[in-house]
Amino acid sequence: MSAAEGPLVVGVDTSTQSTKALVVDASTGRVVASGQAPHTVSTGAGRESDPRQWWDALGEALRQCGDAAHEAAAVSIGGQQHGLVTLDERGEPVRPALLWNDVRSAPQAARLIEELGGPKAWAERTGSVPGASFTVTKWAWLAEHEPDAIRATKSVRLPHDYLTERLTGQGTTDRGDVSGTGWWASATESYDDEILAHVGLDPALLPRVVRPGEVAGTVRDSHDLPFSKGTLVAPGTGDNAAAALGLGLRPGTPVLSLGTSGTVYAVSQRRPADPTGTVAGFADAHGDWLPLACTLNCTLAVDRVAALLGLDREAVEPTSGVTLLPYLDGERTPNLPHASGLLHGLRHDTTGGQLLQAAYDGAVHALLGALDLVLDADADADRSAPLLLIGGGARGRAWQETVRRLSGRPVQIPEAKELVALGAAAQAAGLLTGEDPAAVARRWNTTAGPVLEAVERDEATMARISGVLSDAAPLLEQPTGGR
């Protein structure tokens, strides 16, 4: 490893499937070391993980970074949003964490919306209409199904909070991640006492919300990670807010992220409040807002279709009227938590490659519909700017060409990888330099990458998928077996 030009910082991404760590030169943005370790996610009735494996994976990822991690002056942790981590009086998990893509709390979400004034009231109050992904609905589900776990819980955390607290010994969160809980009022930027009382959650169990640019704490000595005692710890944030930092986003620039889930968002200076619930009015990590829409089924669902067909994920062929809605985990956008995948228009001459392309089309159709709503809600949106395409899928040619064809917009693919961890590193660097982390990322030039020019939008495919979705909505809304 060559000598760094400036102080080193560590950025962490604790995602659904793994934890990734980057050691970054704070002056240049150069990644000097990296590591990654996997997580286990249950695939039974719900989606759960033991939080302790996140800590173990963090340790392994940092060990892979070698001596560089020891030299870090600051660290920040970005993580998957919405997860419900319940801890006992010793700080140990009461039960496995309920993850963002666990949709068992859909009935509780519907009930909470009705009991507390309806969708418009929720949007005005919290910025979002809670769905089955939101933490407040998971707490309500747990109270109904596992009251003993509720009684044993002495603190409630989000995934990134859990790791930050183990580093510092202090219970903290940030405005970006807490805005996805459903119990934080975006208008006042404080916990909502009425919502907490309604779901029976004592606010004393919740972490302190650290402001942007504030130090969350320092690394304590009672840990087994390769950090020096006293290393600065930044607030951290949710994965989408961290990626926005990593891109150095300015207001109005649209982002389409292709991961296990698909997300579309843009930084806005206006507080969002979409009463339809499609656009979540999240806060970002540096004082603005991050209107965002999310689909549950993206790269993982399309890869599953490829596996079922025995095809490489790039083995697509132009479609000829076949439609595949890849809602393998239910769906959040559109709001169909009980849905399963749906295939329409199958013929004798339909090929496997056409079916695979139809899965890509179905996934991207949902994302582009959500993006239209995000941009409609944002007066700053630049509809002529290239779509920034990020996430694991952004490297795949089939994903790139599908987004390009169905959007009709230019597409830019940043060369920087692991943008969540990179955004966390920019947040850590901001503690050392006093800069806005987004400005740090712009100095690092993280959006540099090829731009694919716009092609004519495939209106016929978009209209066909919309028609199938509309006709099939009653069927898709019915619960199916096997979940």
Q: Mind telling me the catalytic residues? A: 239
Structure tokens at 66: 């070698």
Select from 183, 303, 216, 225 the least CA-distant residue to 65: 225
CA distance linking residue 271 with residue 289, whole number of Å: 6
Select from 242, 207, 173 the least CA-distant residue to 15: 242
CA distance linking residue 245 with residue 371, whole number of Å: 19
Secondary element (H or E) of residue 24: strand 18-25
CA angle at residue 418 from 413 to 423, to 5 degrees?
100
Phi, psi of 421 (to 5 degrees): -65, -35
Terminus-to-terminus CA distance in the chain, angstroms?
A: 48
The Cα-based distances of 38 to 19, 212, 284, 304 in angstroms read 6, 29, 27, 19
Select from 265, 223, 242, 75 the least CA-distant residue to 158: 242
Phi, psi of 102 (to 5 degrees): -85, 110
Please count the other Cβ atoms lying within 10 Å of the Cβ belonging to residue 449.
15
Secondary element (H or E) of residue 121: helix 119-126
Secondary element (H or E) of residue 372: helix 352-376
Please count the other Cβ atoms lying within 10 Å of the Cβ belonging to residue 448.
10
CA distance linking residue 37 with residue 64, whole number of Å: 9
CA distance linking residue 245 with residue 438, whole number of Å: 5
For the chain, give the longest Cα–Cα distance: 67
Helix (H, G, I), strand (E, B) or coil at 155: strand
